[in-house]
Chain A
Amino acid sequence: MLTTTIAALLTLGAMSLVWKENIVSRFIEHLILGISLGYGVVLTYRQIFLRLFWVPVTTDFAANWILILPTLIGALWLAQPFQKVRWLSLIPLAMVLGAFSGLGLERIMSSYIIEALEGTVKSLYVAGDLQKSFDHVVIWLGVVCILSYFYFRRIHNPALEKAHEYTRIVGIWWLMASFGVSFGFTVMARAALLIYRIQFLTQDWIGELIKIASGGGM
């Protein structure tokens, strides 16, 4: 019960932030900052340092000795606060960044661009199904117009430039319409969460309190 009460009071305190920033929410903010910082350090220590480095190396040194190398290079981050040797901390960062930039290219190309093109490049006419043909035309048109909104270069051909101007306008309005739809759905999702939280407050906590007050016990 004490635990529930603490959780409920913290919930109320954090909630008060949306009305006005106050001393309670300020206190919670600082408390949570400390807790989550500590949590982050402990988690990094346990999940990464112990689990991925210390335990493998100490239990089976012959197979995992190579892990010492990245750990030592990673330790160059400790040079960060010192102006003169700061560039050393860029080395582990460069390694991570380089590897992941390289690995990302093919994945982005195939799973974003090629897949989207594959979905869009469809016959604009489906025999005997006007509705479907219309849908395909709409999708195709939408992709072309919106993509042209993201075209930044100035076009020198006057006819093309005029066309681009129109497709850009269609594109931005189209984008807004689709954002509207997402917005509407997100309202539903977020409201569901709030309702869940309020149900906790009104039923779990206040309900329990009432039960205790009326002698119902824990």
Chain B
Amino acid sequence: MQRNIPLFLVFILGIIYVLLTFIETSWSEGAVRLASSWAPLLSMWAIVPATYVTLASYGRRLTKRDRNPTTQKAILAGVTYVAFFTMLISGLKSNAEGSLFDWMFRNIQIPVTSTMFSLLTFYIASAAYRAFRVSRAHTSLLMVFAVLVMVTNTGMHTYIPFGQYWNEFSTWFLMTGNVAAKRAILIGVAVGMLATNIRIIFGIERSWMGGGA
């Protein structure tokens, strides 16, 4: 019984909203707008239990009740706690420019996240080193085309005999072969997405409810 309420809701709302996309009147547009204005309000509360779980998990480290407790872990968890509450209290007070909240976000959060983003180069280099071996049949072709593009992208092909043909070939492949691949993947993905959506609406797929089917 308890499980049937959410399943019923998904079904009813799913069917209603599928039909709404095929109706073009002012009220159907209103209903669609309703969904997008309600969605954030319906989901915002989820951050409370989610944050609570994280705090509890790090709280266990802080009080050394976790799997293999160490002092270092406890101290680090303390850092997390201090940072969180500093951010929370200062942020609830004011998030204007110049406030502590804004300062911490700009000078601690942003540099670190953009650094993480730029670190991708290192990860790409090591992935290329490890994965691009002729031993792995499929990745060897991946390697050949990656090398081709990398050479033409930096102008190295001008130092190679017949280099300009490399460039022409890579441009041609980008316009045809690559397009075909992207399209086919998208069609496949779309079929998968449609099927999963339908499975959700008709209650066939239930992993979002916790249990299996």
B177 at the interface (CB under 8 A from A): yes
Residue of A nearest to B38 (CB): A70
Given contacts A95-B9, A172-B138, contact A178 B177 (CB under 8 A): yes
8 Å CB contact of B119 from A17, A93, A146: A17
C-alpha spacing A30/B73, complex, angstroms: 10
- Complex interface residues of chain B between 138 and 154 (CB less than 8 A to chain A): 138-139, 141-150, 153-154
CA gap between A45 and B95 in the complex, in Å:
11
**Given known A11-B115, A102-B201, A106-B22, contact A34–B182 (CB-CB < 8 A):** no
Contact A42 B145, CB 8 Å, known A92-B45, A181-B170, A181-B173: no
A96 to chain B, nearest CB (A): 5
Given contacts A32-B109, A34-B83, A187-B146, contact A109 B177 (CB under 8 A): no
| Pick from A53, A77, A98, A146: contact of B184, CB under 8 Å | A146
Chain B residue at minimal CB-CB distance from A29: B76
Known contacts A33-B83, A35-B84, A181-B178; A100 and B39 CB within 8 A of each other: yes
Nearest residue in B to A8 (C-beta to C-beta)? B111
Which chain A residues in 48-84 approach chain B with CB under 8 Å?
A: 48-49, 52-53, 67, 70-71, 73-78, 80-81
A193 in contact with B180 (CB, 8 Å): no
CB distance from B125 to the nearest CB of A (A): 9
Q: How far is the CA of A44 from the CA of B50 in the complex (A)?
A: 13
The total of chain B residues at the interface (CB under 8 A) is 118
| A218 is an interface residue with CB less than 8 A from chain B | no
List chain B residues, Cβ under 8 A from A41: 47, 51, 88, 91
**For the complex, what is the distance from the CA of A53 to the CA of B128, rounded to whole Å?**
49
Interface of chain A, helix or strand or loop or mixed? helix
Chain A residues whose CB sits within 8 angstroms of the CB of B22 once the complex forms: 106
B166 to chain A, nearest CB (A): 12
A101 to B120 alpha-carbon distance, docked (Å): 33
Q: In the complex the two chains form, what is the Cα distance from A145 to B144 in whole Å?
A: 21
CB nearest to A51 among chain B residues: B40
Report how far A96 CA is from B17 CA in the complex, Å: 11
| Nearest CB of chain B from residue A207's CB, rounded to whole Å | 17
Cβ A184 vs Cβ B147 within 8 A: yes
List residues 19-35 of chain B with CB under 8 A from any CB of chain A: 20-22, 32, 35
Say whether B135 faces chain A, with CB atoms less than 8 Å apart.
no
Cβ contact within 8 Å between A146 and B180: yes
B41 → chain A closest CB, angstroms: 4
A interface residues (Cβ-Cβ under 8 A, vs B): 3, 6-8, 10-11, 14-15, 17-18, 23, 26-28, 30-42, 44-46, 48-49, 52-53, 67, 70-71, 73-78, 80-81, 86-87, 89-109, 112-113, 116-117, 119-120, 135, 138-147, 150, 171-188, 190-191, 193-194, 196-197
16 more contacts with CB within 8 A, not counting A86-B210, A103-B17, are A10-B115, A39-B105, A40-B51, A52-B37, A73-B42, A90-B209, A94-B7, A95-B13, A103-B21, A105-B18, A109-B194, A178-B178, A178-B182, A183-B149, A184-B145, A188-B150
